[in-house]
Each structure stands twice: as C-alpha cells, then as structure tokens.
Amino acid sequence: MSIDEAFQRVIRGHWRLIAACLGLSVLAAIVYTQVQPLEYDAVGRIQLDSDLAVSNVQADAASTRVQGIATSRGAVEKALKEAGAHEDPNSFINNNIEVRRVGVSPVVEIIVTYQDPVKAAAIASSVTNQMLDFVNNGDRKSETDRATAVDANIAALTAQRDSLIPKLAVATPGQVLKLQAEITAIQATMDDQLKQRSDLAVAAAARPSAVLVDTVQTPATPNPRGRMQAAALAALLGLLGGLALAAGHEAVRPTLSSPEAISYALGAPVVGHVEADDVSGEAGDVFLSNIADRLALLGRRFGTDRVMLLPVRAADDALAEEVATGLDSGGKKQLAHRLPVSAMDGQWREPGPRPAAVVFAPRRMGAHELRPIQQLLASIDWPVLGVLTYDPPRPLKVATAPATAPVRGVA
C-alpha cells in the first residue's frame, strides 16, 4: 500500500471518526478543567548561602536538601495541623508541595498549592519556618555539644591548676619541681583545649545561615486552570486515538476509498466516473458518450465485441441499467465504432462470443464488497476493460429483487 493510498483509506476515508475523537477529547478536557476547584499558590523564599553556586550540581544539591527537609512527613504533618487542614500527609507531599531553586543562586522557593488561600499561606509559613530552624540550628547540635565539652574541660583544668599554685609557697625544693611539672602539663593541655575552642568558634562564625528572603503572603489570585494546555494535549491524544481507531478499522475491514484504490484492487484502469443524479438528460448523454468512446478503444485492444457492465451492489442494479443504456451503441448516437453495453442487473443478458467486463462500483466501498465480483471474473475469465465508478443517488434507489435470484453477472 502506497502512502497516498494509506492516506486516502485511513484519513480521508475515516475523517468523520477522527474529527469526532478529536472534538470529544477537547470537549472533555475543557469540561474537566472547568469543574476542577480553584487552587492557590503560597510561596516562601529562603536563601541558603551568601555565595553563588559554582555549578548546577552544587545548586541541585542545595535544592535537593531543602526538598528533603520541606517534604518530610513530620514537617508536613505539623504544618497541616497548625493550619487546620485535614489532608493525608503523603498525598499532600506528592501533590501540593514543590521546591524550586531560582537559577543557580542559593535562593530556593517553597511552594504550597491548596484550595484555601489562607490555609495555603499558613502551611507554607510553617514549612518555611521549620526549614529555617533546622538549617540554622537542627544540624549544629554536634558542634554545640563539642564546644560545651571543651568548655567543661577548660574549666576543670583551670581549677586543677589554680589549686596547685598556692602549694608552691610552702613546698620543699623537691616538691616545687614536681608541682611546677604538673602545672606545666596542665597548662599545655589547657592551651590545646583553648585552641580547639577557638577553632570551633571560628567555624561557627564562618558557617552560612539560611535567611528568609520573602515572607509568605496570602495569595489573592488563583492559579490558571490550564484550559488551553489541557485542550491541546487532549487534541493530540484524540487525534492519535482517532487515527488508531481508523487504522484498526482498516485492518479489520479494509475500505476502498477512491476509484484508484478500486482500480488497484482489480488490476484494471479507471474508465470514468458518473454522478448518479446526472446520468439522464443531454449533459448525461455527452458525458457518457466520452466513456463509451474509451470503452471502444479498450475493446479493440482485447478484441471484444460486447461490454458487460457488472454492478457491485445489487441495490444499484437500476442505476447500472440506466448507465448501460446511455453507453450502448444502440442508443441515440447510432455510432458503429462503439460496443454494445449490457448491465448484468439480475436478469439474463446474452454475453456473445467475445465479451469483456466493466466493473460498476461506487466511489467508496468496503473491500469485502468487491470479492464476489473478483470471484466471478476469475471463474468466467473475461477480460476486464476497466472500472466505472459512481456516486450513489440521493436518496439511494433500491431495485426490487426478482422472484428467483440468479447468480450475479451471469443469470
């Protein structure tokens, strides 16, 4: 199957189905977005460091850390409780909280989406404050505990040293040397502890602190419903679904959607196309005469002396008879070069010694409708001059079936 034929059969042949799928999908998306409740975004913005990130990796690491803290179950449960929002924490974490960094800067936004703008602001404020408290204080406990231990050691060493100094005044020369050695050892240990205390103080002072850049405000404007985006996505899905249905229909029940497709299926050329409503009258005679001349030329090629018009559909036997009468050489023109034409319309027609067939088919039809004619042609072995297509009349004329139904095209 060529690309043109596939286009004709799938798209042009089922454009109504495709358009219906597309339209229904867009309509469903618009209705769905319209009935969804309005939501509001409350935003808290914090700065984690005063220095810019040197790479996207470093910036991502900082925002990931904030996300891990802000979306922790404990923090969200506390925020929901403080705001009076009765929501499932796990679902709220997955659907209502977003952490977004601003470029590669150390500034991070905590965004809470909720239907109630006041509660959205309360939840965002609680999560943001918990975030600040943890970053600035929560992970510094080890340093604080270490500094407290060093201070205790310094105090103990100082007291021990101070208790030995008065003994120097009353000690014997031998005891003085011993006391001086002890004091010197205590002082060396104190110096080491003092250095550790100084290093801890310098590290604590140099460590950056998270600060609140923007306080959380109660949102006044709801989020856009995203109607156009939803409609565009629905249109794409509807189009794909319509194409899939059309392709599936063609795979199960193929359609011959053009005269060229019918011609390809029969292996015979298209000799013309007639409008069923315009067969009669002078204009019909002129048009049919051109087709009759083509049949005469094709008849000479196959050496035939009679054309048998084989209608595909029994419902159009009357139309086939009317067209055959217009094509027949015994009509008004009385031209000798033309071939006699008879329609196999359920009545016996003498084919003569050298007949040839012309298939009379609607412009668009199912491939299964053509099989009886193909089987008939294979059995009688007549040459096929071509395919004559038509548009069915409006309303469609249905011929009355004879009392005994003969084999189509033969008797």
Of residues 132 and 385, the one with the higher pLDDT is 385
Which residues in 253-391 belong to E strands, given as ranges? 255-256, 270-275, 306-311, 341-343, 355-362, 365-366, 384-391
- What confidence tens digit (pLDDT) does each residue in 49-68 have? 766 665 667 677 777 878 88
Between 15-24, 51-60, 191-200, 367-376, the lowest mean confidence (pLDDT) is in 51-60
Count of structural domains, the chain = 3
Is 180 inside a domain boundary?
Answer: yes
Element (H, E) at 250: helix 227-252
User: What residues make up the domain containing 16?
Assistant: 3-36+225-252
For 336-366, b/e burial (b = at least 16 CB within 10 A) is eebbbbbbbbbeebebeeebbbbbbbbbbbe
Instruction: Note whether 235 and 164 are same-domain residues.
Output: no
pLDDT for residue 220 is more than 70: yes
pLDDT at residue 132 in the model: 83
pLDDT at residue 1 in the model: 57
Percent of the chain at pLDDT > 70 equals 83
pLDDT for residue 337 is more than 50: yes
pLDDT at residue 225 in the model: 80
Instruction: Note whether 101 and 178 are same-domain residues.
Output: yes
pLDDT at residue 395 in the model: 47
pLDDT at residue 207 in the model: 64
Instruction: Note whether 301 and 234 are same-domain residues.
Output: no
Is 140 inside a domain boundary?
Answer: yes
Instruction: Note whether 132 and 86 are same-domain residues.
Output: yes
Reported as a pLDDT band with limits 50, 70 and 90, residue 237 is very high
Instruction: Note whether 284 and 352 are same-domain residues.
Output: yes
pLDDT at residue 398 in the model: 36
Instruction: Note whether 213 and 240 are same-domain residues.
Output: no
- Residue 271, token pair as written in the block: 């000799």
pLDDT at residue 123 in the model: 92
SS3 390: strand
What is each CA distance from 120 to 45, 92, 295, in whole angstroms? Answer: 15, 12, 81
Instruction: Note whether 365 and 307 are same-domain residues.
Output: yes
